[in-house]
Structure 1
Amino acid sequence: MNVRRLRGSVAVPLLGVVLASVLAGCGIRPTEVPTDFGAAPSRAPCALTGADTGTQSARGIPVQVFLVCASQLVTVDRTVQLSGKNAATDRVQVAQALLDQLAETPSEPEKQAKYTTDVRRGMTVSGPREGDPEDTLRLSTRPEDLSAYALAQIICTYANSAAADEDGAVVLGGPTDEPVRRYQCTPEVRSRPSTAPPSEVVSGA
């Protein structure tokens, strides 16, 4: 028997054992199959593609509403149907149309991008009562009874539209005789809608 050949044949498997031991000692586990890292990550939150932005569009007046995403307020393009020659400047009609849009369930692309709304269906808005400032909007629900997110959505959406006053603030009240308040949509409100929008009581006209 050729001793030299025998030693060579034994050396190969021994070398494999030694390498495996070294790898194990370094914390590296040898594997014979590719590692499965799972499915590719889904779309990043708060990112709508260009094709998605028109999912709810239809013929009408283009508007923007604020939805909630990643604990912040983000704008979404929508269209609303208004009636009348001067409908686009009719504060109450615009406010109601925007309120209805805020209460709509987000579209499928918006859901995939993690958009949500805290505004509930069925709320209505009307104009000023006697003694209110002329730019007052009165909700059928007291602003104090809304969630912080819902109130921030409404204030910031109105502030970005014809529903706001000349200074871009929103004079808002509820169905009761409590004084109305002038609300501001600040950068802090948009970035942290869980905090109450700054406001102050305003007197009548």
Structure 2
Amino acid sequence: MTRTGTRRGTTALLAAMTVALLLGGCGIRPTQVPVDGGPAPSRMPCAVTGEGSSQTRPQSVPVRIYLVCASQLVAVDRTAELPTARSSDSGLQVARALVAELQKEPSQAERDAGFQTFVRPQVTVSAPRDGDPEGTYRLNRLPEDLPPEALSQLVCTLAESRAAAGNGGVVLGGPGGYAPRVYDCAATTKSHPKTPAPGRVPESPHAGSPPAEGR
């Protein structure tokens, strides 16, 4: 082998060794500090599976109430004892039965699905007063003084039941001289129960009627 060939071989060997040393010295060591990316995102099912949320009782009928799940109102099917025939006070009986269902603590299956209620047992429903619009229900507290989620639950549960007067909402009043107002179960009420739609003044039953003829 010539001197030139020897120099080339030696140079190539030194270059290879240099590259190997550089690669070994510049390797990235695995970190010893665990990286906490936070808990894995969880999503409530908001659906009761398996057994029903309440046992069927004699003379009970299916009802639908609204509970809060994942910051929204979600319909839940239950059973309650309701009057089968319509009478002058059947609407009040239905309203009281539905409010009683809202006041119950969710069953284990409902809790596992993420449901909760904000309607407290202290809320009571009474009959309308003289001069109140048809279908009015008087609460023992001002509707606006209730937790917003509780008001949303009451409004949507009553508005979509036999207790409603059929005007697209439910008429709620409070104690004292509080004037009743109509509360609508709008789509935004279900999607954002923390900001329920404000009540509106009930329409007069004679609104839009032609004036009476004079004599």
Structure 2 partner of 1:47:
46
Unaligned ranges ≥5, structure 1: 1-17, 30-40
The within-5 A match list for 1:9-158 is 25=28, 44-52=43-51, 54-59=52-57, 60-83=60-83, 85-86=85-86, 90-158=90-158
Deviation, 1:199, is 1.9
Q: CA RMSD in A?
A: 2.8
Deviation, 1:157, is 0.5
Q: How many pairs are equivalent?
A: 173
Deviation, 1:50, is 3.3
- Counterparts of 1:177 and 1:113 in 2: how far apart (Å)? 41
* Aligned CA distance change for structure 1 residues 84 and 47 (closer, same or farther; 3 Å): closer
Unaligned ranges ≥5, structure 2: 1-20, 32-39, 206-215
Deviation, 1:61, is 1.2
Once the two structures are superposed, residues 158-178 of structure 1 have per-residue CA deviations (whole angstroms, 9 ceiling, x without a partner) of 111011122221010012211
- Counterparts of 1:146 and 1:55 in 2: how far apart (Å)? 26
Once the two structures are superposed, residues 106-135 of structure 1 have per-residue CA deviations (whole angstroms, 9 ceiling, x without a partner) of 011111122111100132212210010121
Once the two structures are superposed, residues 16-46 of structure 1 have per-residue CA deviations (whole angstroms, 9 ceiling, x without a partner) of xx9xx79x72x657xxxxxxxxxxx898414
The answer to whether the 8 A contact 2:46-2:74 is kept is no
The answer to whether the 8 A contact 2:83-2:90 is kept is no
SS of the counterpart of 2:200? strand
**What is the identity, as a one-letter code, of the residue corresponding to 1:50?**
T
The answer to whether the 8 A contact 2:64-2:78 is kept is yes
The answer to whether the 8 A contact 1:44-1:113 is kept is no
Structure whose alpha-carbon radius of gyration is higher: 2
* Aligned CA distance change for structure 1 residues 118 and 112 (closer, same or farther; 3 Å): same
- Counterparts of 2:41 and 2:203 in 1: how far apart (Å)? 51
The answer to whether the 8 A contact 1:171-1:183 is kept is yes
Structure 2 partner of 1:163:
163
- Counterparts of 2:203 and 2:132 in 1: how far apart (Å)? 7
Once the two structures are superposed, residues 145-202 of structure 1 have per-residue CA deviations (whole angstroms, 9 ceiling, x without a partner) of 1010000000010111011122221010012211100110101010001113232123
Q: Would you identify which runs of 4 or more consecutive aligned residues in structure 1 move more than 6 Å?
A: none
The answer to whether the 8 A contact 2:188-2:196 is kept is no
